[in-house]
């Protein structure tokens, strides 16, 4: 039986995304420092295995392994000319794992460079990269697109416009990464929650959210409340999604370590859900066990 449309399914209640991809790939032998996205071409079965672990844990949708697969980011690995291939493969692998019952969101991350005038990257080059990526993800069979971990308003605006120019009616999700800044939350580029939400909503997305960032679980709950309030005042249609990290990272030998247990993560997810968020998943430090715990707490 063909699945319901993504919008129809989300309209029915809690909808669970997946957790971290990178750490799961490293656990399965991926090389630190190499291009994770290229594994879609080189080791598709390993990527598929991670998707299946999340789907088995209760995810309703998985995100494609294409976070860094725009050509501006791929250039740093000498793979700019492989963008289409990597994205199409990423979408096909996720589709294979999700089958006809579950959903696939095509993942678009930041390019890792600053746009003019702060940097030297031209908006047109960035837009071309995101259009190419979004188009390849669609060819590979995604149900929607998710732009995430953005910190700059100009970059997320370019990404949204690019995605919208090719995605037709498919739902578009967009999120930024906020850190605690005094009594407030701001992205690394100094964007506060209200400015982010009003800009993103004005560009016409299906859902606005937060992912990644550095905050305690308690702070992520407060952030969710702020984001819901901002989204509600910006539009009565836009949905909100949340993908917190597994708490605030501790630096151990220069590596970020996340120590929040699946149970504590699920308790925070329940609070985030009570704040009005129905679409939830996890970012850095989360595992299939964390998603399983959210599923047990709110997803069933």
Contacting positions for Zn ion (CB under 5 A): 212, 283-284
Closest CA to 262 of 299, 223, 213, 236: 299
CA distance 59 to 299: 9
Q: Which is nearer to Zn ion, 197 or 284 (CB)?
A: 284
CB of 255 to Zn ion, least distance (A): 14
Cis before residue 117, ω within 30 degrees of 0?
yes
CB of 249 to Zn ion, least distance (A): 9
Helix (H, G, I), strand (E, B) or coil at 94: helix
Q: Which is nearer to Zn ion, 19 or 140 (CB)?
A: 19
Q: Which is nearer to Zn ion, 170 or 207 (CB)?
A: 207
For the chain, helix, strand, coil in percent to 5 are 50, 20, 35
Dihedral of alpha carbons 246, 248, 252, 255, sign: positive
CB of 233 to Zn ion, least distance (A): 27
Q: Which is nearer to Zn ion, 195 or 214 (CB)?
A: 214
Bridge partner list, 185:
180
Residue 239, C-beta contacts closer than 8 angstroms, at least 6 positions apart: 10, 206, 207, 208, 231, 278, 279
Q: Which is nearer to Zn ion, 131 or 227 (CB)?
A: 227
Q: Which is nearer to Zn ion, 88 or 287 (CB)?
A: 287
Closest CA to 93 of 144, 128, 45, 29: 45
CB of 240 to Zn ion, least distance (A): 18
CB of 290 to Zn ion, least distance (A): 13
Q: Which is nearer to Zn ion, 140 or 244 (CB)?
A: 244
CB of 153 to Zn ion, least distance (A): 19
CB of 20 to Zn ion, least distance (A): 7
The Cα-based distances of 169 to 145, 174, 187, 198, 202 in angstroms read 11, 15, 29, 22, 17
Helix (H, G, I), strand (E, B) or coil at 241: strand
């Amino acid at each position: 039986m063909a699945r319901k449309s993504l919008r129809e399914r989300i309209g029915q209640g809690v909808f669970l995304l997946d957790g971290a991809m990178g750490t799961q790939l490293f656990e399965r032998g991926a090389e630190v420092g190499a291009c994770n996205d290229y594994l879609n071409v080189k080791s598709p079965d390993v990527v598929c295995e991670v998707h299946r672990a999340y789907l088995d844990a209760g995810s309703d949708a998985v995100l494609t392994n294409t976070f860094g697969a725009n050509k501006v980011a791929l250039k740093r690995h000498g793979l700019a000319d492989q963008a289409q291939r990597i994205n199409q493969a990423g979408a096909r692998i996720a589709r294979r794992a999700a089958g006809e019952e579950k959903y696939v969101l095509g993942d678009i991350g930041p390019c890792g460079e600053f746009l003019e005038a702060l940097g030297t990257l031209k908006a047109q080059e960035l837009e071309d990269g995101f259009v190419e990526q979004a188009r390849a993800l669609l060819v590979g069979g995604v149900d929607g697109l998710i732009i995430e971990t953005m910190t700059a308003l100009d970059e997320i605006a370019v990404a949204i416009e690019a995605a919208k120019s090719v995605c037709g009616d498919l739902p578009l999700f967009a999120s930024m990464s906020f850190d605690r800044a005094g009594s407030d939350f701001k992205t690394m580029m100094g964007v506060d929650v209200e400015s982010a939400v009003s800009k993103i909503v004005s560009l016409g997305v299906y859902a606005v959210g937060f992912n990644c960032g550095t905050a305690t679980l308690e702070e992520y709950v407060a952030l969710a409340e702020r984001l819901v309030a901002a989204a509600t005042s910006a539009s009565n249609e836009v949905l909100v999604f949340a993908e917190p990290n597994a708490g605030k990272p501790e630096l151990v030998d220069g590596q970020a370590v996340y120590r929040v247990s699946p149970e504590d993560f699920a308790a925070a997810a329940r609070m985030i859900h009570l704040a009005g968020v129905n679409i939830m998943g996890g970012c850095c430090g989360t595992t299939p066990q964390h998603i399983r715990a959210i599923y047990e707490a709110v997803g069933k």
